[in-house]
Structure 1
Amino acid sequence: MMKLLLMELDNVLYNSKLLKAIAREWAVTAMREAGLPIEHEIAMETLMEVIRDKGEDYPFHFDEMMVRLGLKRDFRVIAAGVIAYHDVKRAFLRPQPGIMELIMRARDMGLTIGVISRGEPVKEWEKILRLGIHHIAHKIWIGKDVSLRSILSDGFKPEEIIFIVWSPENFNEARELGIKHLVKVGDGKIEVLEGGILVKEGEPWRLKDVVESLLGRQ
């Protein structure tokens, strides 16, 4: 019998890839309007290079971008980018369509609702709080060192978990630990694995229906 519906935060509960892409475009646009003397495409390429080199959680992406462009750091321009980025984040940080309904269905069936996110704790908790997930999730595992082993050590068995996962890191660990029911969210499709075997594929917008079909086997 399944006891835990576990979900990743990024790209499962909300569309992280879309939000970041839009936020970065808006940030560079705002920086250019504030005086950044660089073409949009070049600025974007440099920003993405900084993100690849320094990581998503590096707090000075825009500062480093200006340095790599050979410019003196202009705090007015940097502030314009920060404001635009956070304005987009507030506007677009919303639950994926159907995900809240799915969570409530699982709760009504008696499952524990869990969320996992590897990352800088304050940033991850900001997402959780803005999404309002803290009101309806029973357990939330957040931190740079969090792992699926933490969840199993909390008393859940691999065969009792439905895990909706996006990141390769968590997906690979889930397979190693023998988590039986995996729903992998990818670009353009979802894959359902049971006992390590691919049993179904579908479009991402069918995520709610696919998971509900798993819940219906209880």
Structure 2
Amino acid sequence: MIDAVFFDIDDTLYDTSGFAKLARKAALNSMIDAGLPMEQDEAYILLREIIDEKGSNYDKHFNVLTKRVFGEEKPLLIALGMITYHNVKFALLRLFPNTVSSLIYLKGKGYTLGVISNGITIKQWEKLIRLGLHHFFEEVVTSQEAGVEKPNEKIFQLALDRMGCEAERSVMIGNKFNEDIMGALNVGMSAILVNSELKDSEREYLKKENLNVEVIKDLGEIKNIL
């Protein structure tokens, strides 16, 4: 019997990967037009290196980029990049088709809903508010609050404690096998993988350990499980 349903945000409730690349390239184009001496492809490769190095939640990627190119930060270029990135990102922000109907269904069935997300707390709330989803969730627990990232058990336990839920009566829905699925299973929760596919090695591991994970193509299939 499941009482509580927890969700990841990025690439689970909405398409993060789809818009992020477009927004970053638009930002770089604005910086190039204003004097960044690079071709777009070259600049994008450098930006990706910085993101991989600093992490996606770091908020000064463009600062680092200009410092590496010019030897110092360029405030005008940084501001152009940031503003263009955010403008394009929010213009392209789109929920997956069945997100709202699935959340309405779960609330109607009496499930308590929460979020467990790696990221900065304010940024995660900002995403939910802009997507019009914040009112669905009782709690939003982030790695910033927990001091650790998924799949560390501590962040899952913090979410369970704040929602007053038992792991055995809770399920985690996310798109990443290690962070979302294994993190949840390791703390005793059930798990549903969405918008992703299990690798052969992952299937073999789950079979060997006698662990059951539902795999769905989109959130609309939740109605067939819960």
TM-score by length of 1: 0.85
Question: Could you tell me which residue of structure 1 aligns to residue 23 of structure 2?
Answer: 23
Report whether the alignment pairs 1:166 with 2:175.
yes
The match for 1:208 among 195, 220, 226 is 220
Listed as ranges, the gaps of 5+ residues in structure 1 are none
Separation in 2, partners of 1:6, 1:129: 17
- Contact 2:67–2:74 (CA under 8 A) maintained in structure 1: no
Deviation at 1:186, TM superposition (A): 5.0
C-alpha deviations, 1:75-108, integer Å up to 9, x for none?
2222221111011121122322111100000111
Question: 1:197 corresponds to which letter in structure 2?
Answer: N
Correspondence list, 1:139-158, <5 A: 139-146=139-146, 147-153=155-161, 154-158=163-167
Correspondence list, 1:35-46, <5 A: 35-46=35-46
Deviation at 1:190, TM superposition (A): 6.8
Instruction: Describe the shift of the 1:60–1:139 C-alpha distance in structure 2 as closer, same or farther (beyond 3 A).
Output: closer
Separation in 1, partners of 2:160, 2:73: 47
Listed as ranges, the gaps of 5+ residues in structure 2 are 147-154
Question: 2:169 corresponds to which letter in structure 1?
Answer: E
Separation in 2, partners of 1:152, 1:172: 16
Question: Could you tell me which residue of structure 2 aligns to residue 34 of structure 1?
Answer: 34
- Contact 1:46–1:68 (CA under 8 A) maintained in structure 2: no
C-alpha deviations, 1:29-86, integer Å up to 9, x for none?
1111222121111111111111111111222211211222245533222222111101
Separation in 2, partners of 1:178, 1:7: 16
Count residues in correspondence.
Answer: 209
What is the SS of the residue equivalent to 1:6? Answer: strand
The match for 2:185 among 158, 167, 175 is 175
CA-based RMSD of the aligned residues comes to: 2.4
